[in-house]
Chain A
C-alpha cells in the first residue's frame, strides 16, 4: 500500500545544510532514467548533514530508505552511521538537533521501518546524520526515499478552475 511519497515534497520549503552543493539533495530524491539515483549528496565541513523535507500534504510515513554509494571516490568520505529523524516542528539548526529528542534513531544505511505512531501525520521530516559508518571526516548519501501514503485532504494546488 505504501508508495514513494517523494513527489509530495515541497521543494521550495525544504533545505539541506552543510552540503557541498546546497541543491544536491534534490538529485538524491529524484531517480535517474534507469531507476538509479541521479547524484550524490556529500557533507562539506564535517560529517554532519541536516536535511529537512516538507510535504505539501500530511503523509503517513512507513519506511525511510537511505543509501550511500558502494564505490567511493575519496578516502575521507563514508556512508551514513547514526541517523536521527525528527517529525514536524520548526526548522532546526545544528545547535538544536543535538539537544532535541528524536522521533526515531536509525543505524546505518538501508531500508528502515518507521514507528507507526510517531510517523502517523508527518508534515515535515528532519533527517540529521549524526555520524558516518567509518568515522571519516565527511559523509556521502546517494539516495533518500520516503515510503508512505498521503492522508486524505484537499490538495489546493491540484484544484482546477471551472
Chain B
C-alpha cells in the first residue's frame, strides 16, 4: 500500500520493431505497461501514473501523473516508433514531471522499459542516478532485448540510484512474456512477495483488458459477459419471452381447441389464476404472467411428447414454481386422459 506517483518510460526506438517478444517488443512492453498501470492504481486509490516515451527527437511526456487509467492506456496505445532512446535526459524529464506532483506525500518512482542498446556512458548514468537518489526518486528498470549489452551500464546505474532497496532491475530473456514475468517481480509486489499480489495483478489484468476492449470498439463475446449477472438475467428473460411468444403463435396456429384446452388447464392448475381469459393473447399479459404461461406451455409440450428439449428456465431457482409446475403437469395429463376417455 505504498502511496506513490509513477512515470512509465516506454522505449519506442526503432529497435522495438523486433518481434523476438511476441507479438513485438513494443506491443509486449505496452501490455506490460498497461498491466503495471492497473496494478499501481489498484495498490492505493491515491496513486497516480504517467507515461512518457524515451525515443524520438526528444523524450516526451505523454501523460503527466494522473489517476485516470483510461488516459494512461490511450497514451500507451498511441506511442509511435521513432529514432533512438536517450536514457539520461529521459530520466531527467521524468523526474521533472514527478517533481511537480500535486500530493507531496506520494513517493516518486520511475519505471523504465529498455529494449534497445543504451548509448550513454556509464559515468553519465552513474551521475544522473546519484542525483535521483538524492531527490528520493526510486527507479525500476525492465531490461529486455539487449539484456547482455546493457547489463554493466544498468547495473552501475542501479547501484547509484538504489536507496534502502527501493529500486529494482529486472532482465527478461527473449521469448518470455514480459507481462507474465513482471507479475512475479518486486516491481509489481513492492510490499514483499504474496501480499495480495495475485489478486492485484488479476484485477489489473481484468481492468486493462476491459479498457482495451473499449478502445477497439469490440463488444466482447458472450464468455466475457458471464461475470455480469444482471446482464445475463436480462438476456435470459428476453430469450424466454421470445420463446413464449413463438410458442403462443404456434399454439394459435395449431387450432383453437387445443389452445382452449391449454387455457382451461392453466386456469385450473396454475397458481396464477388471475387472468385465465387473456391467456391466449400474449400481448395483453405482463411479463410475469407471460413467463408463467410460457413455462406451462413448454412443460405441457414436454408432457405430451417425451424426450423433448428441456425448458429454458432452470427449476432449481425456484422450488415453489417447480412444484406448481409439476402439479399443473399432473393435472394436465389427468385432464387429457379424462378428455379422451
Say yes or no: A45 contacts B104, CB within 8 Å: no
Q: Which of A11-19, A33-41, A115-123, A128-136 touches B? A: A11-19
Of residues 67 through 117 on chain B, the ones whose CB sits less than 8 Å from some CB of chain A are 99-100, 103-105, 107
A19 to B100, CA, bound (A): 19
Interface presence of B136 (CB below 8 A): yes
Say yes or no: A13 contacts B134, CB within 8 Å: no
Interface presence of A93 (CB below 8 A): yes
Q: Can you spell out 30 A-B residue pairs with CB atoms less than 8 angstroms apart?
A: A12-B103, A12-B104, A12-B105, A13-B104, A14-B104, A15-B104, A17-B135, A17-B136, A18-B134, A18-B135, A18-B136, A19-B136, A22-B107, A22-B136, A44-B133, A44-B134, A44-B163, A45-B130, A45-B133, A45-B134, A48-B134, A90-B100, A91-B99, A91-B100, A93-B99, A93-B135, A94-B131, A94-B134, A94-B135, A95-B131
Beyond the given A44-B134, A93-B135, could you list 8 further A-B residue pairs with CB under 8 A, ordered by the A residue number?
A13-B104, A14-B104, A18-B134, A18-B135, A48-B134, A90-B100, A94-B134, A95-B131
Q: What residue in chain B is nearest A45 (Cβ atoms)?
A: B134
Residues on B with beta carbons closer than 8 Å to the beta carbon of A48: 134
Shortest Cβ distance from residue A46 to the other chain B in the assembled complex, whole angstroms: 7
Residues on B with beta carbons closer than 8 Å to the beta carbon of A22: 107, 136
Shortest Cβ distance from residue B294 to the other chain A in the assembled complex, whole angstroms: 55
Say yes or no: A17 contacts B134, CB within 8 Å: yes
Residues on A with beta carbons closer than 8 Å to the beta carbon of B134: 17-18, 44-46, 48, 94
Of residues 45 through 62 on chain A, the ones whose CB sits less than 8 Å from some CB of chain B are 45-46, 48
Chain B contributes a number of interface residues (CB within 8 A of A) equal to: 13
A148 to B160, CA, bound (A): 41
Shortest Cβ distance from residue B108 to the other chain A in the assembled complex, whole angstroms: 10
Residues on A with beta carbons closer than 8 Å to the beta carbon of B107: 22
Report B's interface with A, CB cutoff 8 A. Answer: 99-100, 103-105, 107, 130-131, 133-136, 163
Residues on B with beta carbons closer than 8 Å to the beta carbon of A15: 104
Max chain A Cβ within 10 angstroms of own Cβ: one of B100, B104, B131:
B104
Shortest Cβ distance from residue A160 to the other chain B in the assembled complex, whole angstroms: 25
> Ordered nearest first, which 5 A-B pairs have the shortest CB separation?
A15-B104, A18-B134, A45-B134, A17-B135, A13-B104
Q: What residue in chain A is nearest B105 (Cβ atoms)?
A: A12
Q: What residue in chain A is nearest B92 (Cβ atoms)?
A: A95
A13 to B104, CA, bound (A): 5
Residues on B with beta carbons closer than 8 Å to the beta carbon of A17: 134-136
Residues on A with beta carbons closer than 8 Å to the beta carbon of B99: 91, 93
A9 to B340, CA, bound (A): 94
Shortest Cβ distance from residue B96 to the other chain A in the assembled complex, whole angstroms: 9
Residues on B with beta carbons closer than 8 Å to the beta carbon of A45: 130, 133-134
Of residues 78 through 101 on chain A, the ones whose CB sits less than 8 Å from some CB of chain B are 90-91, 93-95
The 0/1 profile, CB within 8 Å of B marked 1, for residues 1-34 of chain A is 0000000000011110111001000000000000
Shortest Cβ distance from residue B314 to the other chain A in the assembled complex, whole angstroms: 52
A18 to B135, CA, bound (A): 6
A93 to B100, CA, bound (A): 11
A12 to B130, CA, bound (A): 26
